[in-house]
Amino acid sequence: MSEEADIQPIKPTGARSGFKWGWVLRKTILVMLLLPVVLAALLPIYLVPAIGQPFYNLMLFHPWKYPNGLYTGAAMLGIEPADQYFTAEDGSKLHGWLFRVPGARHVVLLSDGNGGNMTYRRAIALKFIQNRESVFMYDYRGYGRSEGEPSMEGIRQDGLAAYNYLKDGLHYLPRQIILCGESLGTVVTGYLAPRVESAGIVVQCPLYSFRRRAQELVPILNIYSPWMWPAGGLDISSAFSGKHAPLLIISGTADPMTPVKHADDLFAGASEPKMYVRIKGGGHGDPSMMAAHEYDIGLRKFLSLLS
pLDDT in tens, 251-285: 999 999 999 999 999 999 999 999 999 999 999 99
- Give the per-residue pLDDT at 49: 57
Domain ranges within the chain, ordered by starting residue: 19-44, 49-305
pLDDT digits (tens, 9 = 90+) for 14-50: 445 555 566 656 656 665 665 565 444 444 554 555 5
What average pLDDT does this structure show over 51-73?
81
pLDDT at 29: 65
Amino acid at 24: V
The C-alpha atoms of residue 12 and residue 255 are separated, in whole angstroms, by 79
Across the chain, the runs of DSSP E, i.e. the strands, are 62-63, 82-87, 93-99, 107-111, 115-116, 134-138, 177-182, 200-204, 247-252, 274-279
Nearest CA to 266 out of 297, 305, 235 is that of 235
Bridge partner residues of 86 (DSSP): 94
Query: Which is the CATH superfamily of the domain at 49-305?
Result: Alpha/Beta hydrolase fold, catalytic domain (3.40.50.1820)
At residue 295, what are phi and psi to the nearest 5 degrees? -60, -55
User: What's the pTM value of the predicted model, to 2 decimals?
Assistant: 0.82
The reported pLDDT for the residue numbered 2 is: 47
- Residue 43 confidence (pLDDT): 47
Planar angle of CA 104, 109, 110, nearest 5 degrees: 120
More confident residue, 228 or 283: 283
Give the C-alpha separation, 26 to 17, whole Å. 18
